[in-house]
Amino acid sequence: MAHTPNAKVVAEHDEIGLNLYVRILHELESHPSSSVLLDISGDPEQGLRALEHLNQAAPGLYVLLSEYQCSTEFLIRAMRTGAADFLLQPLKRVEFRDAMVRLEQYMARVHSHSRPLGKMYTFAGVKGGVGTTTAAINFATVCAKQNKSTIVLDLDLDSGDLASYLGLQPQYSLHDAMEGLARLDQAMLDGIVTRHAEGFSVLCAPDDIEKARLIAPHQLKELGTFLIEQYDVVVVDGSRGLDDILLNCLELSDSLFLVLTQEFPAVRNAQHYINALVRIGFSQEVIKLLVNRYQKRAPLHVSMEQLQQTLSAKPFYAFPNCYEEAMQAIHKARPIVLNPAAELGRAYREFVKKVGFSSDGQPAGGAAAAVGAARKNNG
């Protein structure tokens, strides 16, 4: 710790035993503003079990995990279990110092941030053309009209349609936010985002593919963490495959709305998506199926009963087949929920209610604020 003057080791344990988490919890009573450095290289499975117990007993605890492997599947599993950061072994001085800087920044935000954390909702389409962007836009519009501070993130970095769907001509993009990530604050963000007339902010995809390629997955996670501290609702238009970019947002998401239609290719893709997400550690509770352009009688489509049987899950919501209404809204660059006579607009308003927002504009049950934590070296 010689090169991290603000850090102090308050306790150490030589091995990960079954009662390690109990010992750590006892020490947290004496050092509540602390975090944990957990070396699980000796027994990764036992280490993850200890991490899971810690996360259940102290949900806001900042745990920095350390191991020799760093596959995407392992990292996702570790983060879903409760790790806040990860250090690859053998430890390198520069990487350790950077991790300590991230920890100090996190602690500073926790101590200076009094408002409850917002929630991130990610919309991902199982294939192109299923209505993912339309769903994200209308969800954000309803949230903003309920006086919740709302921002929409366009993660279709190759050909994002968010700006054109909303009739916006952004001066800056997601790439600009990433370039200034190290010094990003609310004032700087306000200068980068594009404001929509209905009151929500938009971070559009870069219009230059080369700039889009410069955006790294870990930057999305860092930006997402910042956004849920600044906004009540963060909406992600994830019209892309299950790559590391999208997965870093999913780690922060309260819900993943998987958008599909009753077409056979869409149902098949949805099955692949669900299996992949469950395999890397996402629970079925997080994944919510949205069936777009639902038709009760459509001989050439998969019935709702067949869809439910194939996916082993009941759809969270089904939007009626109002394709003409949706296309008119896109051509007018006006969210369909703003049309009080539109059947599809009414459906989107009902969908937002079902997500759990109460009449006072707050999510049911509220959002838990982040808590501080401790630094320990185990092993």
pLDDT in tens, 131-150: 999 999 999 999 999 999 99
- Quick check: 1 pLDDT over 80? no
Is the Cβ–Cβ distance between 366 and 116 less than 8 Å? yes
Last residue of a domain, one of 68, 98, 114: 114
Same domain? 221 vs 291: yes
Domain that holds residue 34: 12-114
* pLDDT attached to residue 377: 33
Same domain? 303 vs 319: yes
The residue-averaged pLDDT of 214-229 equals 87
Q: How many CB atoms lie within 10 A of CB 71?
A: 9
In a domain, 367, yes or no: no
In a domain, 379, yes or no: no
Rounded Cα–Cα distance for residues 313 and 307 (Å): 8
Same domain? 77 vs 54: yes
Rounded Cα–Cα distance for residues 161 and 349 (Å): 22
Q: How many CB atoms lie within 10 A of CB 363?
A: 18
Residue 110 confidence class, pLDDT cut points 50, 70, 90? low
Question: Of all helices (H) and strands (E), which one includes residue 121?
Answer: strand 119-125
Is the Cβ–Cβ distance between 31 and 12 less than 8 Å? no
Same domain? 84 vs 141: no
In a domain, 372, yes or no: no
> In this structure, is the dihedral angle defined by the CA atoms of residues 90, 91, 95 and 100, taken in order, positive or negative?
positive
Counting the structural domains of the chain, the total is: 2
Phi-psi region of 82 (alpha: psi -120 to 50; beta: other; left: phi over 0): left
Same domain? 98 vs 136: no
* Radius of gyration of the chain from its Cα atoms, rounded to whole angstroms: 22
Is the Cβ–Cβ distance between 103 and 85 less than 8 Å? yes
Residue 376 confidence class, pLDDT cut points 50, 70, 90? very low
In a domain, 195, yes or no: yes
Output the six-digit token pair for 177: 């936010």
The residue among 110 and 1 whose pLDDT is bigger is: 110
Same domain? 126 vs 79: no
Rounded Cα–Cα distance for residues 264 and 302 (Å): 6
C-alpha distances (whole Å) from 293 to each of 11, 54, 60, 81, 281 are 57, 44, 40, 36, 30
CATH value at residue 344: 3.40.50.300
Same domain? 80 vs 146: no
Burial 92-127 (b: 16+ CB within 10 A, else e): eeeebeebbebbeebbeebeeeeebbbbbbbbbbbb
Same domain? 123 vs 62: no
Q: What percent of the chain has pLDDT over 90?
A: 37
Rounded to a whole number, what is the largest CA-CA distance in the chain?
A: 70
* pLDDT attached to residue 200: 95
Same domain? 99 vs 127: no
Is the Cβ–Cβ distance between 127 and 266 less than 8 Å? yes
Residue type for position 323: Y
346-366 tens-digit pLDDT? 999 999 999 976 444 444 433
In a domain, 88, yes or no: yes
Average pLDDT, the chain: 83
Output the six-digit token pair for 373: 């934590």
Last residue of a domain, one of 92, 114, 136: 114
- Quick check: 337 pLDDT over 50? yes
Is the Cβ–Cβ distance between 269 and 126 less than 8 Å? yes
The residue-averaged pLDDT of 229-235 equals 93
- DSSP readout, 25-84? HHHHHH--S--EEEE-TT-HHHHHHHHHHHHHHSTT--EEEEES---HHHHHHHHHHT-S
Rounded Cα–Cα distance for residues 211 and 219 (Å): 14
Query: Which residues have CB under 8 Å from 130's CB, separation 6+?
Result: 259, 260, 261, 266, 292
Same domain? 105 vs 125: no
In a domain, 36, yes or no: yes
In a domain, 371, yes or no: no
Rounded Cα–Cα distance for residues 224 and 226 (Å): 5
Same domain? 280 vs 315: yes
In a domain, 278, yes or no: yes
The residue-averaged pLDDT of 271-286 equals 86
CATH value at residue 78: 3.40.50.2300
Last residue of a domain, one of 114, 136, 157: 114
Same domain? 238 vs 99: no
